[in-house]
Amino acid sequence: MKDWSSGRLKSFITSTIRSGFRRYPTKYEALKEARRGKKLNPKSGREAMHYECASCHNEFTQTNIQVDHISPVVDPLIGFVSWDEFITRLFCSRENLQVLCSDCHLKKTKAERLSAKLHKMQKGIIPVRNSQKSKKGTLGLNEDNALLKIIQGKQK
C-alpha cells in the first residue's frame, strides 16, 4: 500500500464494493419487475428477454439496460461522506432502484455530474475553465460556459 495514493486506494475500495452490488439480490428484484418477456431481438435475430426502461418506457434487451439508483449513491451536491454512507446507499431497498436503458442512464448521469459541477463552481471549489482546451474525460467547454451563464444569472 506504500506506493498507492489515497485517491488510488479509495478508487480500488469503491470498485471492489461496487462489484459486490452486481450480485445483490434486490438488484435482481428490480430486473424481474421490469421484465416484459422474451421477444425477437432485431439485432441478433434470436429471442431475448426484454426489459422496460422506467424513464422512456421502451423495451430493451439486458445488454442495453442498467439498474440505477433513483437517489444517487454519492449525492452530487454533498459528495462522498463516509464508507458507511456509501455502502448503505449502494445496498439500498428495492424502492430506490429502477431499470433504465443505456441512453436514459447516460442522460441521468450527465445531469447529476453537471449538477455537482455547478454546485462546486458556485461554492468556488473548482474554477471555471476559460481556455479553449478541454481535457479528455472532463466536461467540455460548452458545459462550462453554460454553467457560467447560470451562475452569473443567479448572482445578478
For residue 153, give the C-alpha cell. Answer: 444569472
Instruction: State residue 143's pLDDT score.
Output: 58
pLDDT at 57 over 60: yes
Question: What are the boundaries of each domain within the chain?
Answer: 6-102
For residue 6, give the C-alpha cell. Answer: 489515497
pTM of the predicted model as reported, rounded to 2 decimal places:
0.77
Instruction: State residue 11's pLDDT score.
Output: 95
> How far apart, in whole angstroms, are the C-alpha atoms of residue 14 and residue 17?
5
For 82-118, the pLDDT digits (tens) are: 999 999 999 999 999 999 999 999 999 999 999 888 8
For 25-54, the pLDDT digits (tens) are: 999 999 999 999 999 998 899 999 999 999
Q: Are 79 and 72 in contact (CB under 8 A)?
A: no
- How far are the Cα atoms of 39, 41, 48, 95 from residue 45, in angstroms, in the given order? 10, 5, 9, 34
